[in-house]
Amino acid sequence: MVEAQVEQTQASLKSLESLKKAKSWEAKIKGVQAQAEQAEVALGLAKIRLEDCTIKAPISGIISKRFVDVGAMVGPTQPLVSIVDIDTVKLLTHVSDEDIDLVKLTQRVGVKVDTYLDKVFEVKEINISPVMDPLSRKIEVAIKVSNPDYLMKPGMFPRVRLLVQRDNALLVPQSALVEKDGQKEVFVVRNGTVHLRKVRAGLETDDLVEVLSGLDEGDLVVVAGPSDLKDGDKVRIQEGDEE
C-alpha cells in the first residue's frame, strides 16, 4: 500500500515538471514533492516494521518448549519459545578424593554413558570443585563434552564412565582382590609364603583391575586358592599344566 502511494506521488510529480515554468504551479509542485518524500519515509518505516515481525533466534539450537500457538496474537516482550544449545553439554558427577587424579587424565580421551556404550564423547573441559562434600566425602566434577548428534538431552541422568589412557598400567585379575572392611588387598607370594598386602585400585574392567599402589611389577599374586587362605600361609606355586 505504501509502495503504491510512493509510485502515485512520483507520477504526479513527473506530470507537473513540464509546468514548472508556470509560477502558479510552483506551490503545487513543492507540495507533491513533500508528499513523495513523506511516502518514501513511510515506506522505509514499514519495511523496518516488517523486518521486526520476522522471528529470529539469538542462538542456534533446538526448541525445548513452546509458549504460544500458531496464529496467536503476541506482544513485543512476550516469550514465544525456549531454545537450548546442546552442541556441548555439561555432565555433573561426584568422584571420591582417591580417584580425583584419574579425572584429570580423562580430558585426553573421553567419556561414555550407559545409554550409548558404543559412543565415546569428546571431553572439552573439566572443572573440579575445590571443596569436598563432608557427608559423601566426594568432590563435584563438571565435565563439558561435545554432543554433535544431540544424543544427550537436558535432564538426563547418565552414569558416566571415565576413559583414561595410560602408557604403563599395572593390572591384576579381579579374582586376585580380597576386600576387607572396605580395603582392597591381595595375597603376594614370596619364598613360598603368602603375605597380605593392601593395594589401591584404579580403573576396572570385568576381568582386570588397575593397581595404583601396593604392588610392584613382577610380584606374584594369588589369583585362585582356598577360601581360608591367610597371611603367612605356606603355598606351592602350581604350574599351568599341572593337575
Per DSSP, the residues of 101-141 read HHHHHHTTTEEEETTEEEEEEPEEEEEEEEEE-TTT-EEEE
Give the predicted TM-score (pTM) of the model: 0.47
pLDDT tens track for 181-238: 778 888 888 888 888 888 888 777 667 888 888 888 888 888 877 677 877 788 777 6
- The DSSP secondary-structure symbol of 21 reads T
What gap in Å lies between CA 6 and CA 72, rounded to an integer?
32
What gap in Å lies between CA 102 and CA 95, rounded to an integer?
10
pLDDT at 8 over 80: no
* Domain span(s) for CATH 2.40.30.170 in the chain: 88-163
Please state the rounded mean pLDDT for residues 146-174: 79
* Domain span(s) for CATH 2.40.420.20 in the chain: 167-243
Report the range of poorest mean pLDDT among 21-30, 55-64, 87-96. 21-30
Say if residues 29 and 6 touch (Cβ distance below 8 Å): no
Helix (H) or strand (E) segment spanning residue 11 = helix 2-17
Per the DSSP assignment, residues forming a β-bridge with 173 are 208
Class of CATH domain 88-163: mainly beta
Class of CATH domain 167-243: mainly beta
